[in-house]
Amino acid sequence: MSRQLRIAIIGHRFMGRAHSNGWLQAAKFFDLPAQPVLALACGRDADATRAFADNWGWEETTGDWREAVARDDIDIVDIASPTHLHRDMAVAAAAAGKHLFCEKPFALDAAQAAEMLAAAKAAGVVGYLNHNYRRCPAVRLAKQLVDSGELGRIYHWRGSYQQDWLADPETPMRWQLKQEFAGGGPHIDLGSHGIDLARYLVGEVAAVTCTQANFVKERPLPGGGGGEVTVDDASIMSLEFESGALGSLEVTRYATGRKNRNAFEIYGSEGAVCFDLERMNELQFFSKCDPATQQGFRTVLATDPGHDYAGRWWPPGHIIGYEHPFAHAAADFIDAVCDGPPITPDFADGLACMQVLDAANRSAREGRRVEVG
């Protein structure tokens, strides 16, 4: 592994940590064609960025992301910043010929997404969009069951992503509740995960109908007074897939008791699968191939060597956690950069996902069904 890939990361909070850990763990648990080097950490708060770099082993820090993405000694730009910055960073980094590891949500809207895709294409770089849940072993098993035909013709996708951190009206205002920074509420933050999984597992969405709610219109500001919430609080979509399958997706930050429940059910003519991120090592699988009196949803613990990625970690029955799919993504990304198989979801997926979400927003505003694209 003499080849090295030098990474610049932008962002040092939750996603900065998760990405840093992903790069490091990928190097330890996977056989990589190149060594990821944590070269440069970029953040506006110099002290925090320094502490972050020290903790994770980033060699240098900088406060200027434009300089960072342009440096000659950088191969990969890891965008772990708030959503409203993604477009400029991705476009600049692509222009500088850097491979792109971009956190979700991809962009504020489909127009930005299209710019990002165009930039990556023009530069011929790898553009990866980090919808990390595609790389849970249990989700990969679902994908295999769909693709192999074991579920038969797909009739239904039923997705939800439920959190509860806004259920208390006194929870204070933060940047995620402002349209200009976040691009939307759970519709985009959680909905992008849901649409990505729906597209990954069932296919393209032809039309969407959406209803949104805003339960709490003003929230306390840290310094006193109230700030207006300018994003949705919850969003319910019905999805008409090109295949004829019917889907639903419900996302919210007001589902008391659900901390991080990214769940889906897929029903086909021959079988069904269900997934819940809070039990992310498990896939529920129902098969009509089983004898009639023995049919039932089986709980597959996706920790066997035969499950994607699982053999890299621990013996069967020893579960992995939230951060492991980041390492899977890091490993696959490095493979892709080193001329291995292309990695998805890519920037084209990012555009397609944003187009569905944009159409859904339009549907909610106008109270009517909207065709995608």
Residues 245-284 contacting its own copies, CB under 8 A? 246, 248, 250, 252, 254-261, 265, 267-272, 277-283
Q: Measured from the CB of residue 301, what is the shortest distance to its own copies in angstroms?
A: 6
CA distances from 313 to 291, 302, 369 (A): 34, 12, 45
- Quick one: CA dihedral 333, 334, 336, 337, positive or negative? positive
State the nearest-atom distance from the C-beta of 121 to its own copies, in Å: 33
Of 83 and 132, which has the nearer Cβ to its own copies? 132
Q: Are 17 and 24 in contact (CB under 8 A)?
A: no
Segment interacting with its own copies (CB under 8 A) among 40-48, 91-99, 336-344, 364-372: 364-372
CA-based nearest residue to 199, from 82, 372, 78: 372
Which amino acid is located at 307 in the chain?
H
Residues 6+ apart with CB under 8 A from 94: 100, 116, 119, 120, 122, 123, 125, 127
Shortest CA distance to 136 belongs to which of 283, 285, 280, 316?
280
321 binds its own copies (CB under 8 A): yes
Distance of alpha carbon 214 from alpha carbon 204, whole angstroms: 28
Minimum Å gap between C-beta 98 and its own copies is: 26
Residue 28: CB atoms within 10 A of its CB come to: 9
- When binding is defined by CB under 8 A, the residue of 34, 97, 220, 297 that contacts its own copies is 297
Site string for its own copies, 170-189 (x = CB under 8 A): --------------------
Q: Does 156 bind its own copies (CB under 8 A)?
A: yes
Site for its own copies in 15-74 (CB under 8 A): 18, 21, 24, 28, 55-56
Q: Does residue 167 interact with its own copies by CB under 8 A? A: yes
* Subset of residues 64 to 123 that bind its own copies, contact rule: CB under 8 A: none
Give the residue with the Cβ less far from its own copies, 60 or 304.
304
95, with CB counted inside 10 A (0-12, 13-18, 19+), is middle
Residue 306 found at the interface with its own copies (CB under 8 A): yes
- Binding to its own copies by CB under 8 A, coded x per residue (else -) over 189-228, reads --------------------x-x-x-x-------------
Q: Are strands 370-371 and 205-213 parallel, antiparallel or unpaired?
A: antiparallel
Site for its own copies in 322-361 (CB under 8 A): 322-324
> Total residues at the site for its own copies (CB under 8 A)?
93
